[in-house]
Structure 1
């Protein structure tokens, strides 16, 4: 792929077979992200619409439902199958440790599922989520919007075709000052029991998963360091869990063929997000890499020349939901499926173990 072909591909859906029909989604959990990012993307989609909202807050649910002509359900009604004909699939956007229960409910109703990342708070619960959907014969997609972004997909093809030679290392950062907004230290992201960890689980998963996607490979071992100051650092009630709400975490990941991954995630500090992939014959750097609907700047140097571009691609959150619906309509397994999400949960669990023990932790294929 030459550089102009790469830019052209970064504006194109390489998966769209233009199927007939739409998929109506029930949104489970109405936090800020679901209301202000996901639901507008669902409503803007070519293959999606909003069928129902599920919340424990009846006033919020009614307000959102009225704005989008959707059915309102509380969690009890959702579990019991009320208004089950109002939607075809479920989008799970609750705190991480609640994902499994909502996925099991959807699978029990025979509904396909797209679940926010990380798939669950622990590896064992992520395994149970995958098993529930496989047993029910429904699709489970982990909501990795970066894997549906035309820019990232074009870069994956470019790297796979040898665009930067043999990859040698990957580096990435996602710093999100979690206390800078309206949410204080009581938010669920700082509750290790609900979140499964801290910065690594919430934002570190982005450079980790995107690197796995670009390389088409998984790490075989990890090392890590993590620290937290007040109000971060609360440990979960489970005494056997090494997890805590890490404020800063640094992970080294050993990928196949000697490729080294180095990822940093933080819940405090100046906001930033970038990813860089280095090869024997070039490099790719993505600035503003993981901000929802952000204008990414891509810089490439390779044997084919140098190029910088931005303002191409599409709203990757809309792409994510359209891609999921396309998979449902065409019977196509999604690339970021439940097992993809499970792999990241296992890698992050190993990173926490490595940070706790100060030792390298080997990973096994799940």
Structure 2
């Protein structure tokens, strides 16, 4: 607060005291008052600061220099009356830990109803999220959702074997359906679910969250645009451990789960390999293992290793298990580069690095890609499909195809032989249009 030479001066003191409410203008006089007024004079903001409205959204001109990454567009959430109402069916860990909190980050969806068979839990969760008692349902009274206009989409988050019943009941009630993966416990059930929704004229989406995750979508772009050369191979690992009391979980009951690690977590490896390339495999071969005399694996498998061969020659080697420490790593081997993706199938913590030759030396570059809430992205995509009458990107047909492929994987593991599959023409044969909200 001193000028060069260390002396106090009137201009410096004015800067210190003149702007504060009730501040004392030391030095006094008309000149000081005029200077204070000059500094406090209103200057209209420029268009760079105010932005403009286009299509109901506020947009700003770019304000950063070319050396910096451009700013992301400001969020443009819908008002409450425009949002699509969801009923969550099943209040287990996934619903309580991930899905319900995701509504706070959603821009197009809102929570309007809950369904549970546990009355005290239903009441507690309803209080936490402000859901009225009139919008809380048990399973016996589930069909009453037909008369609740606030419910437009039913999100089925139940044990796998229960998916078909509640998808069909939701469709019969005239509600669109978002169903957790795996879609069902058999391809026959999966086809019946698609048929029920088609008959009722409602949309059916399967919750393949990885297809809405930014790092995996960026990896898909590398595969599709060919900038790193041909995709030759992929190594996909999704493993985790199970507590000693795991046999008590529904996931370890064949009748409820339809299988062990394969439909639960191995499905991410399978579906992502298909998603990245857009191709469908023409051959699978597999092996599986379960520790003997372990009650956790009396009905379902612990470990499955499977290989997928695709028409282009691309090969995906996949490992899934309930017996190895948590690891969800994905590596893509291109002709000209390698992509490594730690935590590729996790809820958070994804990374993507590219290793290739640059200026005669091997260089590894990590791409900085902002994370998003994968569950909020799913909710918003489904809401957008309902509002705009679009086919979901991860459609019911996408779920049917995975059920067929898992059946082929189990067949190969059982027989010890490869299973050849009928070729499927074209790319993305079972998917709806790419999610427009995630393009760019």
Tell me the TM-score normalized by structure 2. Answer: 0.74
CA distance in 1, matches of 2:216, 2:146: 39
Quote the residue 2:211 is aligned against: 147
Deviations 1:10-49 (A, max 9, x none): x979xx9977721111011111111110111123311111
2:319 is aligned to 264
1:23 aligns with 2:77: no
CA deviations on 1:250-278 (whole Å, 9 max, x unpaired) are 00111111111111001122111111111
- For the structure 1 residues 302 and 215, does the alpha-carbon distance in structure 2 shift closer, same or farther, using more than 3 Å as the test? farther
Q: Distance in 2 between matches of 1:325 and 1:132?
A: 20
Q: CA deviation at 1:311?
A: 6.0
For 1:295, which of 349, 366, 375 is the aligned residue? 349
Partner of 1:248: 303
State the match for 1:279 in structure 2.
334
1:45: which partner in 2? 106
1:1-366 equivalences under 5 Å are: 21-70=82-131, 71-81=135-145, 84-179=148-243, 184-229=246-291, 230-235=294-299, 245-292=300-347, 294-302=348-356, 306-310=364-368, 312-364=370-422
CA RMSD of aligned residues (A): 2.3
- Report if aligned partners of 2:229, 2:336 keep a CA contact under 8 Å in 1: yes
Matched position secondary structure for 2:241: coil
User: 1:27·1:53 contact (CA, 8 Å) conserved in 2?
Assistant: yes
Greater RCO, CA 8 A, separation 6+ = 1
Distance 2:225 2:346 in 1: 27
Q: How many residues align?
A: 345
TM-score with structure 1 length normalisation? Answer: 0.88
Rg comparison, structure with higher value: 2
CA contact under 8 A between 2:215 and 2:369: conserved in structure 1? no
> Which consecutive segments of 4 or more residues in structure 1 shift more than 6 A?
16-20
Q: Decide whether aligned partners of structure 1 residues 170 and 12 sit closer, same or farther in structure 2, where only a CA change above 3 A counts.
A: farther
Indicate conservation of the 8 Å contact 2:87/2:113, yes or no: yes
Judged with a 3 Å threshold, the aligned counterparts in structure 2 of structure 1 residues 167 and 207 are, in CA distance, closer, same or farther, namely: same
Give the gaps of 5 or more residues in structure 1.
1-7, 236-244
